[in-house]
Amino acid sequence: MAWLEARAPGWGFTVPRAGEGDRAALTVTRRRDERFGRGREGAEKPLNRVTLRVVQFDGVLTVEDADRLRQSLQDGMGRAKGYGCGLMTLRPVAS
User: For residue 26, which of 61, 53, 54 has the smallest C-alpha distance?
Assistant: 61
Give residue 48's pLDDT band: very low, low, confident or very high (50, 70, 90): confident
Instruction: Report, in angstroms and rounded to the nearest whole number, the Rg of the chain calculated over CA atoms.
Output: 17
Domains of the chain: 2-83 (3.30.70.1210)
* Residue 24 one-letter amino acid: A
Q: Are 24 and 5 in contact (CB under 8 A)?
A: yes
Average pLDDT, whole number, for the chain?
87
**Percentage with pLDDT > 70 across the chain:** 88
The pLDDT value given to residue 49? 87
Question: Model pTM greater than 0.85?
Answer: no
